Structure 1
């Protein structure tokens, strides 16, 4: 890179890193606060909650990296226009590559970061997070459920125990109404918490399961000798969701064990997770190109630069919304993965074509009228108030 390109890259990198830290902290705090009630129900959680919450950071940071690159790039390009540096670069005869190259390098650097998290750090952090949640729920059952009392663990889940002696529980009762179509009630003469490696399972012994549809009065009773529960969210472990695909390595997702129970029940989830990991980095490049489309053209100080940031964020949010919708359809229909791959690639091609044509979105008439609408409304309201004030009796007396 030339000296000027390094200058632009350095400014864009600093701005993007600042945006990344701010966005990641905001999302992390929201996620951590949503789980703060764990501290009230677990003694060990009070000491481990910070570590568990930190395990959320890699995936959260990777999720906001494309937006941080977009915001950082647009801020720098707007700054170049505000300081007339962009106009000087254009007047000196420098090509668009002077602006294009450092921003693309920034997008590629963000893509490498996202790939590193998606295929390396992310699965390890996700596994550590869910293992921490599982251990917290173990403490919730064994330490904080008082014998003879019905404790509402969540709005739709009530648990009661007769006696608790370490990991052994006697006379366990669970009422689960989280299913919108079915009420589940569990009775067990005894329950115990078994450690399976880094995981813990709540095993129910010698009990009954009562299933009652919400729309009817019939009740089906199922007797069982043993029944397993996933302590990460207190739901049955035999639904195939004990180990989440986010905890699996990329190699396992690409070449899963055909005998794996989870893969046999829901193979589309493996495809969905692998597709997400291999496409997420492309949005860093797509958003970097979109930033150039929105703010890369030279403009004067009189031309509003706020439109660039608004257009940039609006387009980015719209693209990610469509991508999220398409990704959610991969699990039931794995062939949709092709569309998920094509979406960011098409965005990159579309943005590249706009850059080659020198399109300035902020100067398109319909965009200008849209952003001028609040100003025109405010101006009309001010004129209306002035006319009413000039026609009032008080003003006539004056």
Structure 2
């Protein structure tokens, strides 16, 4: 550990030296012994630290789209994982479509002419659940595309298929719903959570009334 009352950085070409004045150096040996060295002036070479700091590794997600389209052949990251660059491109070119997919899903869920009271669960919950499932499929495909190139087709296929299915429901005037088993499970889960919450509130109210007495 270096301590100094004053110091300055001196640059000589590409070299940088830290000059410290009137300080001490605390050094601890492997055996645990501590030694203190006092100095009036001490020069510390910063070149090694500067060279290490200049070597910045940029991942594909940190690169611009233009660079991903034409990466530098000498890029070390590109040399190690060339498939990750194309996978990042596929993800960027497909992500813009998901807002449109979510809008189509919402229209497909809410587009039924019958009353929403006849549905098993609220249409908003249905739309959110389907949208989350579709987005999860997209993330899953994107995460696998850099290792298995065939998943690149799935990256584009997920939003395309989801949009086509939602459009079919809209055109045919049908309501997009969750499978009956899923809807029943979610309804039962919501009922159990509601009952548990009611029981907890009842216990808390009883304790509060008992403390008042």
TM-score range relative to shorter protein? 0.5 to 0.7
On the 8 A contact 2:130/2:178 being kept in 1, the answer is: no
CA RMSD of aligned residues (A): 3.9
State whether structure 2 residue 85 is matched by structure 1 residue 270.
Answer: yes
Structure 1 match to 2:109:
294
State whether structure 2 residue 176 is matched by structure 1 residue 322.
Answer: no
State whether structure 2 residue 156 is matched by structure 1 residue 341.
Answer: yes
- Relative to structure 1, the CA distance from residue 313 to residue 254 in structure 2 (aligned partners, 3 Å threshold; closer, same or farther) is same
- Relative to structure 1, the CA distance from residue 304 to residue 248 in structure 2 (aligned partners, 3 Å threshold; closer, same or farther) is same
Q: 1:228 aligns with which of 52, 56, 77?
A: 52
Q: 2:62 aligns with which of 237, 241, 247?
A: 247
- Count of residue pairs brought into register by the alignment: 166
Structure 2 match to 1:51:
none
SS of the residue 2:74 aligns to: coil
Structure 2 match to 1:131:
none
On the 8 A contact 2:87/2:152 being kept in 1, the answer is: yes
How far 1:298 sits from its partner (Å)? Answer: 2.5
SS of the residue 1:358 aligns to: coil
How far 1:306 sits from its partner (Å)? Answer: 5.9
TM-score (norm 1): 0.35
CA distance in 2, matches of 1:375, 1:247: 42
TM-score (norm 2): 0.60
Residues 326-383 of structure 1: CA deviation (Å, up to 9, x unaligned): 11112223342122111111111121222233222459755664565368769999xx
State whether structure 2 residue 172 is matched by structure 1 residue 357.
Answer: yes
CA distance in 2, matches of 1:316, 1:277: 19
How far 1:305 sits from its partner (Å)? Answer: 9.3
5+ long unaligned stretches in structure 2:
10-15, 20-24, 26-43, 197-213
- Relative to structure 1, the CA distance from residue 324 to residue 378 in structure 2 (aligned partners, 3 Å threshold; closer, same or farther) is closer
Structure 2 match to 1:192:
46
CA distance in 1, matches of 2:135, 2:169: 20
Of structures 1 and 2, the one with the larger relative CO (CA 8 A, separation 6+) is 1
How far 1:229 sits from its partner (Å)? Answer: 4.7
How far 1:317 sits from its partner (Å)? Answer: 1.2
Bigger radius of gyration: 2
